[in-house]
Chains A and B, each alone.
Chain A
Amino acid sequence: MAENGDRSLDHLFAAARNSPPDTSRAEEGFEDRVAARIRGVRRGRGEWTVGAWAWRLSPALAAVVLAIGVWTATTVPELPAGSVTEVAASWEAADLADFLGGDG
């Protein structure tokens, strides 16, 4: 029984070997299609590279923005509320007095 199975299987393999798959249609112009595929992949890879670099750099860019924010917040002194108006007003009054007094 097992021998029969083995023999049948060997016959099938032998027949399949005698009748190899016909690849002639696939072979026609195959080089051109492979070349086109390679060009496509290369183009895609170029676009991917730009995108990938932008994506990879995004944490660094975010860190720079954050650092600038922190630096601005810690180094520029905060003016008390209303002081700007007062200074401006006093300057304007002094300028007006000088002008009217003929010093301007």
Chain B
Amino acid sequence: MTGPGSDPRPDGQLVAAVLDGDDGAFAALVGRHKRQVLRIAARFSRTPHELEELGQEIFLKAYVDLGQYRGDAPFPHWLFRIAVRSCYDALRKRRREFDTFPLDDGAPYMADGTISGKEDEEAARDLLSRALRRLRPAERLVITLLSLEERTIREVAQLTGWTEVNVKVRAYRARRALKRILEETDGGKR
């Protein structure tokens, strides 16, 4: 079996090899794209265990559906679409847990809006992450893709299968809800 990091074949050839029964080729695909997939999965995971589960789910689904990959779009796009939809499914499954998640510290970053230094950035990311957990799954997905992954409206529409208008509406609602959550937190601290 060829090592996943060293296989020089392009994605299309690896996909064909997997469909011919070469599991080593799939390991090569996983090795090549795991960072991108795990990074998006990490945006929606609360623990390392959740990240592992979600990451594996995404690649398992990709493996099962690989026969449906037609090669008309680059393989990473196809895989990322599966990743986004799997993340959305995971969010919807645990939707009820969001309401009770506490937002305790982090308010100082809202007070003057200035964030400097690595520690501040990590604290800000943590605060945002906890605020995002209070959003509805669809709103959280849209705002994460737009504002953290820096995707365009059109890209988000393609990834989620929703219309562009729908994406815009959800993004607007997500921002409004986030501002309210953060302002409430900020107000409660003063």
Residues in A lying within 8 Å of B, measured CB to CB: 2, 4-9, 11-21, 23, 25-27, 30-35, 37-38, 41
B75 to chain A, nearest CB (A): 16
Tell me, yes or no, whether B105 is within 8 Å of chain A by CB: no
A26 touches B51 (CB 8 A): yes
**A19 contacts B118, CB within 8 Å?**
yes
B121's partner among A15, A21, A33 (CB-CB below 8 A) is: A15
Task: Please give 17 more A-B residue pairs, beta carbons under 8 A apart, in addition to A12-B124, A15-B125.
Answer: A5-B183, A8-B113, A9-B179, A11-B113, A12-B115, A15-B120, A16-B128, A19-B118, A19-B121, A20-B39, A21-B39, A21-B42, A23-B51, A26-B52, A34-B60, A35-B23, A38-B23
- Closest-by-CB residue of A relative to B1 is A35
Chain B residues engaging chain A, CB cutoff 8 angstroms: 4, 23, 26-27, 30-31, 34-35, 38-39, 42-43, 48, 51-52, 55-56, 59-60, 63, 109-110, 113-115, 118, 120-122, 124-125, 127-129, 147-148, 150, 175, 178-179, 182-183
Q: Are A31 and B124 in contact (CB under 8 A)?
A: no
B7 CB to nearest A CB, Å: 11
CB–CB B43/A34 < 8 A: no
A34 with B39, Cβ < 8 A, contacts A5-B182, A16-B125 known: no
Give the CA-CA distance A32 to B125 in the complex, in Å. 31
* Bound Cα distance A51, B29 (Å): 33
Q: List 16 A-B contacts (CB under 8 A).
A: A6-B175, A6-B179, A8-B179, A9-B179, A11-B124, A12-B110, A12-B128, A15-B109, A15-B115, A16-B124, A23-B51, A25-B48, A26-B42, A33-B56, A34-B59, A38-B26
Question: How many Å from the CB of B157 to the closest CB on chain A?
Answer: 20
Q: Nearest chain-A residue to B149 (Cβ)?
A: A17
Beta-carbon contact of A9 and B178 below 8 Å:
yes
